[in-house]
Amino acid sequence: MLSQTDLKIKNIGESTVNSPLNLSTRGDDGIADYIPEGSIVFYQNELIRGEERNLDLYFEKAGPRQKIFFEPPKTKAAIVTCGGLCPGLNNVIRSLVLELYHHYGVRDILGIKYGFKGLNPKSGYEPINLKPSNISEIHKLGGTILGSSRGKEEISLLVDTLYSLGVDILFCIGGDGTLKGAHALYEEITKRGYKKCIIGIPKTIDNDIHFVEKTFGFDTCIGITREILASAHAEAAGALNGIGLVKFMGRDSGFVAAHATLSSLEVNFALIPEVPFDLEGPNGLFMHLEDRLKQRRHAVVVVAEGAGQELIPEEEIEKDESGNIKHKDIGMFLSDSIKEHLNKKQMPFSLKYIDPSYYIRSVPANANDSIFCDQLARNAVHAGMAGKTDIVIGLWHGLFTHVPLPLATSSRKKISPESELWRNVIEATGQPFSMKSVKPEIDSN
């Protein structure tokens, strides 16, 4: 059970340096205010009338502090991007540099090449100096100018490098694996007694970081999925018994598939990891797909990459460089299985299978994500300069927060089948709540 101890934020020491931001400490003066220490964002925002609100759980609010830990002219920062590509990576890098350089006066900013590998001296990758002049146009590009990588590295070697480079604040931009690595760095740094800050910025198209409402790149992703689903629908509707089958990202969580479905409103079946389904049987996908084709002569099916893994014949388990289990290809499996089923039924059909994953993740950020990336980055700088550490910048009830790294990586955020989001998907697609042959009992009392 979650406790306030889990939400407590660590500081590397007392903040005694006056911030150079020249913000205000009082209202009604036309100047933006510092965030006072002790500012909180309540965990609970919804309750049934008559229930007592839980005021014992809250996040620390993010934002600029009047007193900071580091003296800006003496401070060295570094930025690293890890894991898969995601729209907005360059936006975050750019805003980190601009906030550090122009507003705090930090002149020594390093870009670590190719993820955590760039901190391993055995790799031979030298960091690059980042200044406003060499990052001014990067927000217009997809990908990351620093490069990225997956895979585990020897933490002690990475900390050795941070120490030899004189890095005071390391900004780690990445998903669950990156943030776990960032926490491991914090633990080694703490064990050695170093005064260095580790700040995470949550990056994953899957939007599955726990206690973070939204990760950057997600809005851009959904915008692209809408275009793809419009094409899939056109292909399906243009043929007799046409089927558009589209696979989206979502290793453990179906947020992309669900939001793509709601954005499109052309999807008839959405399949996600959190909601098991059958293919065969009186309530399986095949039966409902047949009914749809008989009634409307076309269908669009969306499947998240981690859905239906139990349906695919067992193979030897493989893992990627980060230690994640490599999922079997549910898209190709579904495509082949649907074709085989409809051929047995002697039903004419046309199936088009689309897997746009690599295209989606490498495009530049859209307007909403550009704004969001800038806000995340600047709040990360405020946290680092104030001596906060072992945190990731979160969003909760629309407000930016500090989330302890161990809490954010304790589990993956998932869609509850009983949530409003999934109900909305069911209402939009018209599919049943369950496509298992043995239906769950529903208590309507």
Strands 388-389 and 391-396 come out as unpaired
Q: In this structure, what token pair is assigned to residue 56?
A: 């014992």
Residue pair 345/280 in contact by the 8 Å Cβ criterion: no
Round to whole Å and give the CA distance between 379 and 288.
48
CB count within 10 Å of CB 420 equals 8
Residues in a beta bridge with 169? 77, 197
Active site residue 206: yes
* Cβ pair 401, 257 in contact under 8 A: no
- Choosing from 206, 369, 374, 390, the catalytic residue is 206
User: What is the C-alpha separation between 131 and 98, in angstroms, rounded?
Assistant: 8
Element (H, E) at 341: helix 330-344
Eight-state DSSP code of residue 138: G
Name every residue whose Cβ is closer than 8 Å to that of residue 222 and which is 6 or more positions away in sequence: 256, 259, 260, 263
CA distance 145 to 114: 9
Distance spanning both ends of the chain, measured CA to CA: 28
Give how far the C-alpha of residue 157 lies from the chain's centroid of Cα atoms, to the nearest Å. 27
Q: Please, which residues bridge with residue 277 across strands?
A: 435
What are the φ/ψ torsions at residue 388 (nearest 5 degrees)? -70, 150
Name the residues annotated as catalytic: 206
